[in-house]
Chain A
Amino acid sequence: MLLQLKDISKSLGKFRIKDISVELPEGYIMGLIGPNGSGKTSLIHIILGLYKANAGELLIDGMSYEDSEVEIRNLIGTVLLDELFDHSATLKENGINYGAYYKNFSLEILEMYMKRFGLDGDRKFKKLSKGEKLKFQFAFALSYEAKLLILDEPTANFDPSFRKEFFAVLKEYIADGTKSVILSTHLTEDLDKIADYILYIEKGSTIFSGDIEKLRDTYRLITGEKYKINLLPKEQVIHVEEGNYGTRALVNHRLRYTYDKEVTVAVPTLEELMYFITKRDKGDKRR
């Protein structure tokens, strides 16, 4: 198991990450989703060993930060929204300077990815756009044989053509079955296509954690006339929304439950799932 979080809790002022548990085996992509302020970045900081959890256990490739910090850091590649590199240095200089700390850093690999991503190694970091800075972080993260890539919402800053390239690289990256990716993003339609596991958190707590197929089996989006929706068992209903073209409800799906023939039953997308669960928590509850 490449990543194991067991009952991780962390107080961050008034905000609290509560008992988050998740496991990610080698060769998979895990999507980390949740609304703004749900604790995604804080959780990533915990996984990166930047924040120390108050309780729980964190193991990366079977090792803990307390015992093997250097080994773990050699295994982790990161893309964060922070501007981490030296502004006055060129991309190549940044790669050489920081790559020197990594056991398996390869300048050739870095240059190969920079070329692939359309980055000029002789440009200064400060001259890059936000998206290019993230591309360089991504190229650097791929240059030292990291086993676990942790990416904090990079896709929103990428243009549509590079987003395709980005997902293609991620697929190549995990193809040999020894590496994994944690991708935090708001653009959930991308995750629908690429993620194998989903960790959905809200207000610091887990809403869902598991493989995406299980998630698809857990919920259904029902569309139909209002009175038909009202007939659904209340304990199954997560949130109901009335629209111009009928009423929609997100429900907990039971395998043996037979839905009315006059309603449409669909597997919700991640975006729909997030939307309904967030709406539920903002009020207008009907469970």
Chain B
Amino acid sequence: MTGRVIKDYFAAFRWGNFKEKVAHFAYLVFYFFAILPTIVGFFETWESALIYVLMMIPTIHILNSGSLHIMKMPKMMYMVPLTKEMKREYIVKSAIFRICFCSLLGMICTLPLMLLGLCSAITYVIIAYDYVTFALLLCGMNERYGLEERNAWQEARSDCRGLIQGIDMIITVISLFLIACMLSWDTNEGMKNIYENLLFIIPAILFQLPLTIKHMKYWSTAVEKALSYERSFDK
């Protein structure tokens, strides 16, 4: 089952799937690599540019993975003879693999920052934490409009959940952005004291951690939903 999970994770990165989300994905890339750095001045020195790019590549990957790897099985897996336990195993393993892969990519991409002396080991740990929470947040996402959710009451509930997830995501992106700002400031001007560090880290952690915990409570519901074809696909 693990092999199948890994295979399906990478199989989702195909043009047919990207095509549906290309506007969303292109906007993300354009915003994070053209608009935002210009406004904030991330590309003024090579160090800050490197920090920014190395942090944003995994961020965009996680955001993209969040839309490509919705918590559900490929259609064919709903048709083959699998017990409920085997389906559950597939869904849970898929989610875990996603969290691990996305977090690991974040850690690997930002490791050169520490190796080049652009950030301290503690800051690196904070960055790693941020990637794990971000991956956790996006990993439990379901398709908002499964067939079952066409029922008006459920649709309304689903909309609320979608809104909450949207807010969660914005806050998480802000927290990652704050950490990138912190690193950039640290590299260009040098942090004068720990309080300046905390100015960035506290909002990042305080806002994000409770949201992630709240979101994880929804996990079991998300897994149950993913077990049902009609709650995962709209046709």
Contact = CB atoms under 8 A, between A and B. Distances in A.
Tell me the interface secondary structure of chain B in the complex: helix
B30 to A, nearest CB: 28
B147 A102 contact: no
A126 B11 CA distance: 12
Contacts of A98: 76, 80
Interface string B1-30: 000100110010010100000000000000
Given A70-B82, A101-B81, A103-B81, A12 B147 contact: yes
A101 B82 contact: yes
A88 B74 CA distance: 14
Contacts of B14: 87-88, 126
Contact of A50 (B4, B11, B80, B229): B229
Nearest to B8: A86
A84 B79 contact: yes
A143 interface: no
A97 B74 CA distance: 13
A242 interface: no
Contact of B76 (A45, A51, A84): A84
A78 interface: yes
A48 interface: yes
A102 B82 CA distance: 9
Contacts of A101: 80-82
Contacts of B80: 73, 98, 101-102
B150 interface: yes
A52 interface: yes
A71 B83 CA distance: 10
Contacts of A88: 11, 14
A260 interface: no
Contact of B83 (A13, A50, A70, A85): A70
Nearest to A74: B81
B78 interface: yes
Contacts of A12: 147, 150
B44 interface: no
A69 interface: yes
A172 interface: no
B83 A69 contact: yes
Contacts of A86: 7-8, 11, 74
A159 interface: no
B217 interface: no
A165 to B, nearest CB: 24
Contacts of B229: 45, 50-51
A78 B79 CA distance: 9
B16 A82 contact: no
A98 B14 CA distance: 20
The size class of the interface chain A forms with chain B is 20 to 34
B133 to A, nearest CB: 31
B81 A82 contact: no
Interface string A87-111: 1100000000110011100000000
A45 B151 CA distance: 18
B192 interface: no
B166 to A, nearest CB: 24
B150 A13 contact: yes
Contacts of A74: 81
A88 B14 CA distance: 9
B82 A87 contact: no
A63 B184 CA distance: 64
Contacts of B235: 41
Nearest to A102: B81
Nearest to A86: B11
B4 A97 contact: yes
B230 A73 contact: no
B81 A73 contact: yes
Interface string B63-93: 0000000000011101111111000000000
Q: Can you list the 4 inter-chain pairs with the closest CB atoms, starting with the nearest?
A: A73-B81, A13-B150, A101-B80, A50-B229
Interface of A: 11-13, 41, 45, 48, 50-52, 69-71, 73-74, 76, 78, 82, 84-88, 97-98, 101-103, 126
Given A13-B151, A85-B76, 8 more contacts: A12-B147, A45-B229, A50-B230, A52-B228, A71-B81, A86-B7, A87-B14, A88-B11
30 contacts: A12-B150, A13-B147, A13-B151, A41-B235, A45-B229, A50-B78, A50-B79, A50-B230, A51-B147, A51-B229, A69-B83, A69-B84, A70-B82, A73-B79, A73-B81, A78-B79, A82-B75, A84-B76, A85-B76, A86-B8, A86-B74, A87-B11, A87-B14, A87-B16, A88-B11, A98-B80, A101-B80, A101-B82, A103-B81, A126-B14
